[in-house]
Structure formats: structure tokens, C-alpha cells
Amino acid sequence: MLALKALTTFFVVSVATAQPVVVAALGDSLTAGYGLPQEEGFVPVLQGWLSEQGAEVELRNAGVSGDTTAGGLSRVEWTLTEDVDALIVELGGNDMLRGVDPAASRGNLDGILKAAEARDLPVLLVGLAASGNFGPDYKAAFDAMYPELAETYGTLLYPDFFAVLTGREDQAAARRELMQGDGIHPSAEGVRLIVQDIGPRVLELIERVE
């Protein structure tokens, strides 16, 4: 009887003290939720979606508007606090807008993934598709860095943050309804659609946490 009572007490205490998986989202304005009320930004909406799926997770917003891959690399060490269990990396858009050499961007992302690897943290790398403004060679090099780095480090990959929006048949309507006026950042509805599409990959990331 005493043994059963002790076992029951242990079980109750263990459940009560169980901690959610902590996922840091290291990114730029797309992660930070630029131009939207706080509750409609990418991280809060993704947090809500994950909770609806029954995931015990705490998603931390480490997005900084205007940040580049170099800025992400400079922040990664203090972003990865001891309690962080997994990492989402969404960077590169500002590098592309500024015409940063893809080799430099790739090197910065490599440094971020190395930092996560040193902590044995699972990673979801979120890519972007470059515009053709800087020519086909630039676009090819930029687009290739995400899948190649994901393969090198064995990370999960979501190839293009905007894939669910750019894949819509009526692009004029998509830009009008799913993007903000600047044409760069998603609207609240755009964020909701992006979260629904990327959400299953984030669940896979959580499942990789040991």
C-alpha cells in the first residue's frame, strides 16, 4: 500500500513539474511580426496553432526587424540559453534586399547552425526564394544555400517562407489580401496561412527534442 502511494505521488509530481519544450525562433522582421499587432505576428500565431495541436511548447520570439544573417550570427550564442531545446532559423531576406554576397550569407548561416550543433539542438531552417534583381547567378547561389546547409547539418528544412502565398494562382489578389502595403511583409491573413503550412514542420522539430 505504501509503495503504491509513493509511486502515485511520484507520478503526480513528475507530471506537475513537466516543462514544455522551449523553441527559440531566430529571425528578422518576418519572425518579429513587423507591421502587425503583437498577437497577429508570426510567433504568437504559431504558438497558438501549436497549442491547438496539443503541443507542450514555449515559442520564444528572437526576431529583430532589419536583421541580417550576420546579425543573427552575432546573437545566436545569447539566444541559445541553457533552457532552449530547439531552434528555428529564419534569416536571409535582408541580405537579399541589400545584395549581400550569398557566400557571406551562407557563411553566417553556417556559423549559426554550428552553434546549434555544438549544443546538440535540432533545427528547422527556413529559406527564402531570391528575386531576380541581381541576376540568375545570384539567385541560384542564394536559393541553393538553404537546402545545401540543411543537408550538411541534417536539419529540417522549410524551403521558402512565402511558398504558400507565392503558390496561389491569383498573385494580384494574393499580394493585395495576403501582403502588407510594402509588398515585403505578410498581412495577418498571410501569417495565418504561412503558420498553417509551416506548422507541421515545427511539430517535427519538437519531436526531435530528446
**What is the set of active-site residues?**
29, 182, 185
CA distance 69 to 142: 12
DSSP-based three-state secondary structure for 159? coil
Chain-centre distance for alpha carbon 122: 12
Residues in the chain: 210
CA-nearest of 12, 56, 5, 59 to 195 is 59
- Burial class, 18, CB count within 10 angstroms (exposed 0-12 / middle 13-18 / buried 19+): exposed
Q: Each residue of 88-110: b (16+ CB within 10 Å) or e?
A: bbbbbbbbbeeebebeebbebbb
Q: Measuring CA to CA, how many Å separate 86 from each of 59, 110, 125?
A: 10, 16, 11
From first CA to last CA, the distance across the chain in angstroms is: 34
CA distance 8 to 29: 47
